[in-house]
Amino acid sequence: MSSTVGIVVPAYRPDIPKLRQYLTAIVECLEPETVVVELDAPEDGVAAELDDLPVVVETVPYRRGKGAAITAGFERLDTDVLVFADADGSTPVDSLSAVVEPVTAGEADLSVGSRRHPDAAVDTHQTFARRFLGDAFAWLAGRLLDVSLFDYQCGAKAVAADCWAEVRSHLYEPGFAWDVELVAMAAALDRRVVEVPISWEDRPGSTVSPVSDSVALFRALLSARHRAKQLRDDRLHSAIAARREEPTALVERDR
Protein backbone atom coordinates (compact mmCIF):
# COMPACT_ATOMS: atom_id res chain seq x y z
CA MET A 1 0.00 0.00 0.00
CA SER A 2 1.41 3.40 -0.98
CA SER A 3 1.87 6.05 1.68
CA THR A 4 -0.38 9.09 1.76
CA VAL A 5 1.36 12.46 1.71
CA GLY A 6 0.28 15.80 3.13
CA ILE A 7 2.18 19.01 2.42
CA VAL A 8 2.25 22.25 4.42
CA VAL A 9 3.43 25.52 2.91
CA PRO A 10 4.00 28.26 5.51
CA ALA A 11 3.68 31.74 4.05
CA TYR A 12 4.11 35.28 5.34
CA ARG A 13 3.34 38.05 2.85
CA PRO A 14 4.18 35.78 -0.12
CA ASP A 15 4.49 36.70 -3.78
CA ILE A 16 1.06 35.37 -4.79
CA PRO A 17 1.77 34.65 -8.50
CA LYS A 18 4.90 32.69 -7.54
CA LEU A 19 3.05 30.91 -4.75
CA ARG A 20 0.22 29.95 -7.10
CA GLN A 21 2.73 28.59 -9.60
CA TYR A 22 4.51 26.58 -6.92
CA LEU A 23 1.32 25.17 -5.42
CA THR A 24 0.09 24.15 -8.87
CA ALA A 25 3.36 22.34 -9.55
CA ILE A 26 3.20 20.58 -6.18
CA VAL A 27 -0.35 19.36 -6.80
CA GLU A 28 0.35 18.21 -10.37
CA CYS A 29 3.72 16.56 -9.80
CA LEU A 30 3.51 15.12 -6.29
CA GLU A 31 -0.25 14.42 -6.18
CA PRO A 32 -0.47 14.77 -2.39
CA GLU A 33 -3.63 13.89 -0.55
CA THR A 34 -3.72 17.32 1.10
CA VAL A 35 -1.94 20.65 0.66
CA VAL A 36 -2.34 23.19 3.45
CA VAL A 37 -1.18 26.79 3.10
CA GLU A 38 -0.61 28.39 6.50
CA LEU A 39 -0.93 32.09 5.73
CA ASP A 40 0.21 34.58 8.38
CA ALA A 41 -1.00 38.18 8.49
CA PRO A 42 -2.36 38.25 4.93
CA GLU A 43 -3.37 41.51 3.34
CA ASP A 44 -7.03 41.93 2.40
CA GLY A 45 -8.10 39.66 -0.43
CA VAL A 46 -4.90 37.61 -0.57
CA ALA A 47 -6.44 34.36 0.68
CA ALA A 48 -9.24 34.68 -1.90
CA GLU A 49 -6.63 34.70 -4.68
CA LEU A 50 -5.92 31.04 -3.85
CA ASP A 51 -9.56 29.92 -3.69
CA ASP A 52 -9.54 28.25 -7.10
CA LEU A 53 -6.61 25.98 -6.25
CA PRO A 54 -7.12 22.48 -4.76
CA VAL A 55 -5.50 23.49 -1.48
CA VAL A 56 -6.68 24.34 2.03
CA VAL A 57 -5.83 27.89 3.08
CA GLU A 58 -5.65 28.62 6.80
CA THR A 59 -5.09 32.21 7.90
CA VAL A 60 -4.25 33.99 11.12
CA PRO A 61 -4.22 37.82 11.43
CA TYR A 62 -0.74 37.94 12.96
CA ARG A 63 2.72 36.55 12.29
CA ARG A 64 3.23 33.27 14.15
CA GLY A 65 6.60 32.38 12.72
CA LYS A 66 7.62 29.57 10.40
CA GLY A 67 7.83 26.86 13.06
CA ALA A 68 4.47 27.67 14.61
CA ALA A 69 2.82 27.77 11.19
CA ILE A 70 4.27 24.40 10.13
CA THR A 71 3.31 22.83 13.44
CA ALA A 72 -0.27 24.06 13.05
CA GLY A 73 -0.34 22.71 9.51
CA PHE A 74 1.06 19.32 10.49
CA GLU A 75 -1.58 19.04 13.19
CA ARG A 76 -4.26 19.42 10.52
CA LEU A 77 -2.90 16.54 8.44
CA ASP A 78 -4.01 12.92 8.70
CA THR A 79 -1.50 11.33 6.31
CA ASP A 80 1.31 8.80 6.57
CA VAL A 81 3.95 11.36 5.62
CA LEU A 82 4.03 15.05 6.57
CA VAL A 83 6.02 17.45 4.40
CA PHE A 84 6.73 21.15 4.38
CA ALA A 85 8.16 23.41 1.71
CA ASP A 86 8.93 27.12 1.87
CA ALA A 87 6.49 29.30 -0.04
CA ASP A 88 9.14 31.00 -2.17
CA GLY A 89 9.62 27.84 -4.22
CA SER A 90 13.38 27.70 -3.69
CA THR A 91 13.11 23.90 -3.66
CA PRO A 92 11.76 22.75 -7.06
CA VAL A 93 9.07 20.08 -7.01
CA ASP A 94 11.37 17.38 -8.38
CA SER A 95 13.76 17.99 -5.49
CA LEU A 96 10.87 18.09 -3.05
CA SER A 97 9.80 14.71 -4.40
CA ALA A 98 13.33 13.39 -3.77
CA VAL A 99 13.10 14.58 -0.16
CA VAL A 100 9.78 12.80 0.33
CA GLU A 101 10.87 9.50 -1.23
CA PRO A 102 13.02 8.07 1.62
CA VAL A 103 10.11 8.45 4.06
CA THR A 104 7.46 7.00 1.75
CA ALA A 105 9.84 4.12 1.03
CA GLY A 106 10.24 3.41 4.74
CA GLU A 107 13.97 4.16 4.63
CA ALA A 108 13.87 7.17 6.96
CA ASP A 109 11.76 8.76 9.67
CA LEU A 110 12.92 12.27 8.84
CA SER A 111 14.26 13.37 5.46
CA VAL A 112 16.11 16.68 5.26
CA GLY A 113 16.65 18.59 2.03
CA SER A 114 20.19 19.91 1.72
CA ARG A 115 21.54 22.88 -0.22
CA ARG A 116 25.05 22.42 1.19
CA HIS A 117 25.46 18.75 0.37
CA PRO A 118 28.37 18.17 -2.06
CA ASP A 119 25.90 16.70 -4.58
CA ALA A 120 23.42 19.58 -4.34
CA ALA A 121 22.91 21.86 -7.35
CA VAL A 122 22.71 25.52 -6.33
CA ASP A 123 21.56 27.68 -9.23
CA THR A 124 21.83 31.06 -7.49
CA HIS A 125 23.94 31.53 -4.40
CA GLN A 126 23.07 33.56 -1.32
CA THR A 127 25.03 36.66 -0.44
CA PHE A 128 28.47 36.00 1.03
CA ALA A 129 27.32 37.04 4.51
CA ARG A 130 24.32 34.69 4.55
CA ARG A 131 26.34 31.84 3.06
CA PHE A 132 29.15 32.29 5.58
CA LEU A 133 26.78 32.43 8.53
CA GLY A 134 24.88 29.40 7.24
CA ASP A 135 28.06 27.38 6.82
CA ALA A 136 29.28 28.37 10.28
CA PHE A 137 25.96 27.42 11.84
CA ALA A 138 25.93 24.02 10.11
CA TRP A 139 29.51 23.35 11.26
CA LEU A 140 28.67 24.20 14.85
CA ALA A 141 25.41 22.26 14.87
CA GLY A 142 27.20 19.19 13.57
CA ARG A 143 29.45 19.28 16.61
CA LEU A 144 26.78 19.96 19.21
CA LEU A 145 23.99 17.64 18.08
CA ASP A 146 23.63 13.87 17.75
CA VAL A 147 23.38 14.07 13.96
CA SER A 148 25.87 15.75 11.64
CA LEU A 149 24.41 17.27 8.46
CA PHE A 150 25.62 19.68 5.82
CA ASP A 151 22.38 21.69 6.09
CA TYR A 152 19.86 21.93 8.91
CA GLN A 153 17.82 24.93 7.75
CA CYS A 154 16.75 24.13 4.19
CA GLY A 155 13.03 24.70 3.69
CA ALA A 156 12.15 21.18 2.57
CA LYS A 157 11.66 18.31 5.00
CA ALA A 158 9.48 15.20 5.27
CA VAL A 159 8.63 13.25 8.42
CA ALA A 160 6.78 10.00 9.03
CA ALA A 161 3.52 10.41 10.95
CA ASP A 162 4.64 8.16 13.81
CA CYS A 163 7.88 10.13 14.13
CA TRP A 164 5.91 13.40 14.22
CA ALA A 165 3.67 11.95 16.94
CA GLU A 166 6.74 11.29 19.08
CA VAL A 167 8.68 14.46 18.41
CA ARG A 168 5.88 17.06 18.35
CA SER A 169 5.72 17.59 22.12
CA HIS A 170 9.44 18.46 22.19
CA LEU A 171 9.24 21.39 19.79
CA TYR A 172 9.17 24.93 21.16
CA GLU A 173 10.74 27.25 18.58
CA PRO A 174 8.09 29.27 16.67
CA GLY A 175 10.46 30.80 14.12
CA PHE A 176 13.25 29.78 11.75
CA ALA A 177 15.04 27.78 14.46
CA TRP A 178 12.26 25.18 14.33
CA ASP A 179 14.12 23.26 11.62
CA VAL A 180 17.21 22.54 13.68
CA GLU A 181 15.06 21.74 16.71
CA LEU A 182 13.11 19.16 14.68
CA VAL A 183 16.32 17.48 13.52
CA ALA A 184 17.85 17.56 17.01
CA MET A 185 14.81 16.03 18.71
CA ALA A 186 14.37 13.33 16.06
CA ALA A 187 18.02 12.31 16.41
CA ALA A 188 17.82 12.33 20.22
CA LEU A 189 14.85 9.97 19.99
CA ASP A 190 16.96 7.63 17.82
CA ARG A 191 14.88 8.26 14.71
CA ARG A 192 16.45 7.63 11.31
CA VAL A 193 17.49 10.96 9.78
CA VAL A 194 18.71 11.16 6.18
CA GLU A 195 20.00 14.12 4.17
CA VAL A 196 18.98 14.49 0.53
CA PRO A 197 20.87 16.78 -1.86
CA ILE A 198 18.55 19.05 -3.80
CA SER A 199 18.51 21.60 -6.57
CA TRP A 200 18.03 25.03 -5.07
CA GLU A 201 17.79 28.65 -6.08
CA ASP A 202 18.10 31.55 -3.67
CA ARG A 203 15.06 33.80 -3.86
CA PRO A 204 15.29 37.56 -3.21
CA GLY A 205 13.12 39.13 -0.56
CA SER A 206 13.89 36.71 2.25
CA THR A 207 12.40 37.66 5.63
CA VAL A 208 15.48 36.25 7.39
CA SER A 209 17.79 38.82 8.99
CA PRO A 210 21.43 37.64 8.73
CA VAL A 211 22.38 39.18 12.09
CA SER A 212 19.38 38.99 14.42
CA ASP A 213 18.18 35.62 13.15
CA SER A 214 21.70 34.19 13.36
CA VAL A 215 21.82 35.14 17.03
CA ALA A 216 18.40 33.58 17.57
CA LEU A 217 19.52 30.42 15.75
CA PHE A 218 22.60 30.12 17.94
CA ARG A 219 20.52 30.43 21.10
CA ALA A 220 18.02 27.92 19.75
CA LEU A 221 20.84 25.51 18.89
CA LEU A 222 22.07 25.57 22.47
CA SER A 223 18.51 25.08 23.71
CA ALA A 224 17.94 22.17 21.30
CA ARG A 225 21.19 20.55 22.44
CA HIS A 226 20.11 20.93 26.06
CA ARG A 227 16.73 19.27 25.46
CA ALA A 228 18.31 16.54 23.32
CA LYS A 229 20.63 15.74 26.24
CA GLN A 230 17.60 15.59 28.53
CA LEU A 231 15.93 13.06 26.24
CA ARG A 232 19.05 10.94 26.55
CA ASP A 233 18.84 11.21 30.36
CA ASP A 234 22.01 13.21 30.72
CA ARG A 235 22.34 13.92 34.45
CA LEU A 236 23.72 17.44 34.12
CA HIS A 237 21.11 18.65 31.66
CA SER A 238 18.29 16.92 33.55
CA ALA A 239 19.42 18.67 36.74
CA ILE A 240 19.51 22.02 34.96
CA ALA A 241 16.01 21.45 33.57
CA ALA A 242 14.67 20.58 37.01
CA ARG A 243 15.56 24.09 38.20
CA ARG A 244 13.76 25.81 35.34
CA GLU A 245 10.13 26.40 34.56
CA GLU A 246 8.91 23.96 31.91
CA PRO A 247 8.15 25.79 28.63
CA THR A 248 4.98 25.21 26.64
CA ALA A 249 5.34 23.12 23.49
CA LEU A 250 4.05 24.60 20.24
CA VAL A 251 1.31 21.98 19.95
CA GLU A 252 -0.09 23.09 23.31
CA ARG A 253 -0.19 26.80 22.57
CA ASP A 254 -3.35 28.65 21.56
CA ARG A 255 -5.55 25.74 22.62
**What total number of domains does the chain contain?**
1
Q: What's the pLDDT band for 52 if we cut at 50, 70, 90?
A: very high
Question: Which residues constitute the domain of residue 71?
Answer: 5-252
pLDDT of residue 211: 54
Q: Cα–Cα–Cα angle for 39, 109, 169, nearest 5°?
A: 60
Which residue has better confidence, 1 or 239?
Answer: 239
pLDDT in tens, 87-131: 999 999 999 999 999 999 999 999 999 999 999 998 765 565 566
How many C-beta atoms lie closer than 10 Å to residue 232's C-beta? Answer: 14
Decide: 65 and 181 in contact? Cβ < 8 Å. Answer: no
Report, as an integer, the average pLDDT of 201-205: 66
Task: Please report, for the domain that includes residue 59, its CATH number.
Answer: 3.90.550.10
Which residue has better confidence, 240 or 37?
Answer: 37
Report, as an integer, the average pLDDT of 80-85: 98
pLDDT of residue 233: 78
Q: C-alpha distances in angstroms, 213 versus 18, 216, 249?
A: 25, 5, 21
Instruction: State pTM to two decimals.
Output: 0.90
